[in-house]
A and B are shown apart, each in its own frame.
Chain A
Amino acid sequence: MYQWDFHTLWQYRNIIFIGFGYTVGYTVIVVILGLLVGLIAGLCRLSPKVYISGPFRAYVELFRCTPVLVQLIWFYYALPILTGIELTPGMAAVLALTLYGGAFYSEIIRGGVISIDPGQSEAGMALGMTQFQLMRRVVLPQAFKRMTPPLVSQSIMQLKNTSLLSVLAVPDLLYQGQIIAHDTYRPLEIYSLIAALYFAILLPATILAKRLEVKMSDGRGA
């Protein structure tokens, strides 16, 4: 029978703490940048002009249909060879996860915008709104309400995908865990702890998102 020993892990608390910080920090960055890219790509894909929507469609499909781990490695190892620009592991990671997440965010945003009754746009247009005003005042506020659940799901994916940064030796939660595992020969304990930590970040985040969702739909029908 295996003897669990979590006590040895206590002395590695600083290493785990640093990993925790990297994981949360990178998540915040790639969620924010990913949403920004996704918003731009999603809205541009709605353009009737093919020379605007086309390139963004190509971008979305390219990043949706290749594994994020491959993208990560490609940005770090292949891009410098092609362009001569050296990326730090952190830069490569932010670039890959932002573009990967952005591709999925853009599809969520595009779908949310399409789901809004065209009558809403017509009402705004009849008032003399420009396309920009229409999006900002009428369509997006309604669409974001519907997009919230899938956007939250995708952001959770973003956090979990930061675990791939360990491949580039970015000291995130998983990478730190690997170091500790090598050091202690206690992989069961450390990976259990790492899993629990991911869960401990994400569960409260989902509860918060749920609250937000309920609050946004308070007293207002669709």
Chain B
Amino acid sequence: MGSEMISIQNLKKCFGDNVVLKDISLQISKGSVVAMIGPSGSGKSTLLRCINLLTIPDAGVVDVGGQSIIFDGKNTTLPKARDLAKFRSRTGMVFQHFNLFPHMTVQQNVMEGMVTVLKTPKQEARAVADALLQRVGLSDRAEAYPSMLSGGQKQRVAIARALAMKPAVMLFDEATSALDPELVGEVLNVIRSLAAEGMTMILVTHEIAFAREVADQVIFMRDGVVVESGPPAIVIDNPQKEATRSFLSRFKNSVQ
């Protein structure tokens, strides 16, 4: 086993009476790619959002790259806003609906985190942004505004924006779900190249075939618990649990 990059212990989250995460624990080693699959409402997106604390867990421990934050379930030791912000800056998040800043150009979107949060000098940030945009194949759109881009282009900018923070891990929350089918491929290609470079990533996805291709580990969740976890050859191709089998049967066509 490599060193642990992410460690989650006894994570719990409720929204009112609705228990979304029931005592989740998992370890993710450095450089691994984890795909989280499961029906909607299974808690996979909430779990992902808890890892960068966009959703504050009720209880449990979240550790990313050796920095841990403990939630005791009483709201008494809620970490300071500044510490939360610092913690979040070390994880990159890519959203289903891109959430690019519409009042900034593509280049400014990528520079924003560096300039505002990391206090990188503008010139240096611009150089990094241009390199990242080249990497996601959008050098020629640096001066465009997000409204002028296709969905696939927007998502690639969003990935570049997250990478600009030099995050320890990248989190993808259904990054291709809002895209037209013909635009999914260009985004998956970028994710694939990140995986090849050894970026630690967690993907919440409905792209089962893609999960099988790039993931080292697949986590199947249902009703707020991890039902099954392991290499894709087992969880996707040869699931041990009935719940996993019945969920995957709906994707049979895309798997074969």
| Residues of A that sit less than 8 Å from B by CB | 117, 119-120, 122-131, 133, 137-138, 141-142, 145, 219-222
Complex interface: chain A residues within 8 A of B146 (CB): 221
Can you add 11 more A-B contacts, CB < 8 Å, to A130-B81, A221-B145?
A119-B97, A123-B99, A126-B88, A127-B113, A127-B161, A128-B87, A128-B113, A128-B117, A129-B113, A129-B116, A220-B147
- Most B CB contacts (10 A, CB to CB) among A117, A127, A129, A219 go to A127
B interface residues with partner A (beta carbon < 8 Å)? 52, 54, 81-82, 85-93, 95, 97, 99-103, 112-113, 116-117, 145-148, 158, 161-162, 165
Residues of the B chain whose Cβ atoms lie less than 8 Å from the Cβ of A222 = 102, 147
A220 vs B143: C-alpha distance when bound (angstroms) = 12
Cβ of B112: which chain A residues have Cβ within 8 Å of it? Answer: 127, 137
Q: In the complex, what's the smallest C-beta–C-beta distance from A115 to chain B, in angstroms?
A: 13
State how many angstroms separate the Cβ of B138 from the closest Cβ of chain A. Answer: 18
What chain A residues lie within 8 Å of B85 (beta carbons)? 125, 128-130
Min C-beta distance of B93 to chain A, whole Å: 4
Residue of B nearest to A123 (CB): B99
Interchain nearest-CB distance for A183 vs B (Å): 54
Measured between alpha carbons, how far is A138 from B102 in the docked complex, in Å?
A: 9
Q: B residues within 8 A CB of A117?
A: 99
What chain B residues lie within 8 Å of A127 (beta carbons)? Answer: 88-89, 112-113, 116-117, 161-162, 165
Chain B residues, CB < 8 A from A128: 85-90, 113, 117, 165
Q: Are B91 and A126 in contact (CB under 8 A)?
A: yes
- List the 6 closest pairs (A to B, CB-CB), nearest first: A128-B89, A221-B147, A127-B113, A123-B99, A126-B93, A119-B99
A–B pairs, 28, beta carbons within 8 Å: A119-B99, A120-B101, A123-B99, A123-B100, A123-B158, A123-B161, A126-B91, A126-B95, A126-B162, A127-B88, A127-B89, A127-B112, A128-B86, A128-B87, A128-B90, A128-B165, A129-B117, A133-B117, A141-B103, A142-B102, A145-B103, A219-B145, A220-B102, A220-B145, A220-B147, A221-B102, A221-B147, A222-B102
Bound Cα distance A222, B145 (Å):
10
